[in-house]
A and B are shown apart, each in its own frame.
Chain A
Amino acid sequence: MTRKQKRLAIIAGGVSVIGVAVILVLFALQEQIVYFHSPTDVVEKQVSPGTRIRLGGLVAENSVARGQGTTVEFAVTDTANTVSITYTGILPDLFREGQGVVVEGAFQPGNPLFVADSVLAKHDETYMPKEVADSLKKQGVWQGEEE
């Protein structure tokens, strides 16, 4: 091979790898990302059943009820609107009524209940999930430090 051909071969190889990577990234960004919503967003935007979303807010007072086995039902609120959640599994250590949480899952067809497959709470008591803090500020019920 001449010098030019060698260089072309290397460039062609490089471009094709990067091309594949770009296609993969674009595809994954369309298919594999999860949007965050507050309970008010859910009510206003009508999230279609089956679409995976993250839902964040405060665990409503007196809403936590243990069902069969390891199933737990609770409600997430941003004080304006409330969404009922059902979750099977172990709740995070800092999951409490009145605390901020983010749940991930989807609404089931023909049912207002949100089925969560993961529940994230904050990791220490001075820390609130950022999305939750933002949505609470929007509702004007933020009680933490002002930024």
Chain B
Amino acid sequence: MIVELGHYALVMALAISLLQSVLPVIGARRPDAALMEMAPAAAIASFIFVLLAFAALTVSYVTSDFSVQNVWENSHSLKPLIYKFSGVWGNHEGSMLLWILILVFFSALVALFGGNLPFSLKANVLAVQAWITAAFLFFVLLTSNPFQRLNPAPIEGRDLNPILQDIGLAIHPPLLYLGYVGFSICFSFAVAALIEGRIDAAWARWVRPWTLAAWTALTAGIAMGSYWAYYELGWGGWWFWDPVENASFMPWLAGTALLHSALVMEKREALKIWTVLLAIMTFSLSLLGTFLVRSGVLTSVHAFATDPLRGVFILGILVLFIGGAFSLFALRVQTLSQGGLFAPISREGALVFNNLFLTTATATVLVGTLYPLLLEAVTGAKISVGPPFFNLTFGPLMIPLLLAVPFGPLLAWKRGDLWAVCQRLYFAAGLALLTALAVTYFATGAPVLAALGIAIGIWLIAGAITDIALRSGAGRVAVPIMWQRFKGLPRSAFGSALAHLGLGISVIGIVTVTAFSTEEVTTLKPGETMVSGPFALQFEGLKPNTGPNYTELQGRFIVSRDGNRFATITSAKRIYTARRMPTTEAGILTLGPSQLYVALGDETPDGGTVVRVWWKPWVTFIWIGAVIMSLGGITSLFDRRLRIGAPATRKATAVSAGQET
């Protein structure tokens, strides 16, 4: 019964979305306040109905109701409870429902906290959100219904794919979708602005918090996914340039560009057309990602087993929304007035530089991702584009961009003085240079690129600290006053400094691991010892063990350095009982920022075990940096100017927005 109610709730949500797609737009044209006012109410109602549907599916998972096909295919009565919850989105149908839930969640947020938006803009934004919602609800109901019943009901389920039975599944997809789907708000704002034919700095101020929120979640989501793949797959890698990784990385790159260009638009009313275009492109890339993952055109860790109808359906949605938005853009672009002027050397100029490089980098990733698909469609030849392609195209584009980062926040708006900024960055540059020298000196034989890369990381970190120090008046005022100023700095200043600092930390992690990690593959018999980096690992042999829904062979290693035994690592080969599916559970020992990573292979006929060991110096910097970047996003989100929903600020924003228009 609950299942049927869930199905019914989805249909209700679709009906409401269809109304919400049309009536507010008519209301905004007439103008008719009653028609416009239905939009927030409808948005909240459809959120509640989708939430009900999602709850219904969750209940059937938790109670192991195998009469539901989706539950039967992806669950098992012995599965630990947390995976019964997270398993709801561990499959195509359920994750699509989560996708829509987050979409309507964002619409509801706009409905609830968009009190300071102009009436007609709010109505149009919610209508555009409803177009997307309706399209994807049609998709779920027609091709991917999670509430399909089975008759007769099987006694036991087929269990969740063991790779997904991990805490990562509980965190990675929701965060990723919050980011991915969160950009829909930017898209809706852009399309609504095009419908109205009016756009100003206030528009950018409304869009920025949504961009920031989506970007923050996407940053954390991608980082989480990367760490999950790293420890779960047992391949020791943290990024594979897999098409599906690229599918989430492209919206991130474009979203990062959007974050920066919206800043220019908000402060200086310049780059209007570009910002609108970027808002459309960012969500288009999210949609493209959804298509790539779910259409079955790709071979990947993430690819869901799919039927072709789904691919065609999403392709239709993709063409409709991207094509529609770009046509509208082309029609209306004339009506958007161009904004403030600026010199090439200025804060605006720096942000344009940022946008130029980020979007070009996005384009290279796009080419690398789509080229194999296009080539196969046209010539039938099958190719794979792997890390070498991206290292050669994406890598060189990142170097000038990263070098330029510390300059941006220090340049003045409108017209900057590059030489003065250089002088302020002496300290950071000196530190970076020293680092480069130190790396070449201590790590003899280190590649030049490694020294350069680590120096760039230090440059970013020192640049971010310089920015905050100068804003506090370092060197110009006494320390107590500096402290006062420091405390009085806007949160957004801390936000951007933290994000840039986090980027520097990630860069250091990436470079160190790429240049200095070592990998050993060997066969060990119990009692034998192998060496990895500065450590010796003694193999103690394999021991059987039983978990709730799997059996495993555990291999224990005693780790020693210079003869001192100080830790053990346990790695395992698991077999999940329900699917008879083997997995590798990597053993990871974290030592400061570095990790020792052990994966077990097969047993050899002579009683040995194949063992693969990586020593990964400073590897955790990659994810720590990303977490700091997200924290920067959160900090910025709490900036007084952007705080949404707080009554006091709402008033202030309304007044200042009124002054500017």
Contact = CB atoms under 8 A, between A and B. Distances in A.
Nearest to B600: A90
Contacts of A6: 341-344
A21 B364 CA distance: 7
Interface of B: 161, 163, 234, 296, 298-299, 301, 303, 305, 307-308, 341-344, 349, 352-353, 356-357, 360-361, 363-364, 367-368, 371-372, 381-386, 388-389, 392-393, 396-397, 521-523, 573, 579-584, 599-602, 604-605, 610, 612
A28 B392 contact: yes
A137 interface: no
Contacts of A104: 384
User: How would you classify the secondary structure of chain B's contact residues: helix, strand, loop or mixed?
Assistant: mixed
Contacts of B396: 20, 24
Nearest to B163: A123
B582 A94 contact: yes
A88 B612 CA distance: 11
Contacts of B386: 32, 34
A10 B352 contact: yes
A21 B382 contact: no
Contact of B383 (A17, A35, A129): A35
Interface in A115-139: 123-127, 129-131, 134
A28 B382 contact: no
A44 interface: no
A130 B299 contact: yes
Contacts of A47: none
Give the secondary structure class of A's interface: mixed
14 contacts: A17-B356, A20-B396, A21-B361, A25-B364, A28-B388, A33-B371, A33-B385, A54-B384, A70-B521, A90-B599, A123-B161, A124-B581, A129-B299, A130-B296
A143 to B, nearest CB: 15
Contact of A66 (B308, B363, B389, B604): B604
Contacts of B382: 35-36, 54, 131, 134
Given A93-B584, A130-B299, A21 B610 contact: no
Interface in A1-52: 1, 3, 6, 9-10, 13-14, 17-18, 20-21, 24-25, 27-29, 31-36
Contact of A33 (B303, B389, B605): B389
B626 to A, nearest CB: 25
A70 B610 contact: yes
Interface in A65-115: 66, 69-70, 88-91, 93-94, 104
A123 B601 contact: no
Given A24-B396, A36-B384, 12 more contacts: A6-B342, A6-B343, A21-B393, A21-B397, A31-B392, A66-B604, A69-B523, A90-B610, A104-B384, A123-B163, A124-B581, A134-B382
Contacts of B368: 25, 28
A18 B360 contact: yes
B397 A131 contact: no
Contacts of A88: 521
B363 A127 contact: no
A17 B360 contact: yes
A17 B356 CA distance: 8
Given A13-B344, A70-B610, A90-B521, A123 B393 contact: no
B180 to A, nearest CB: 22
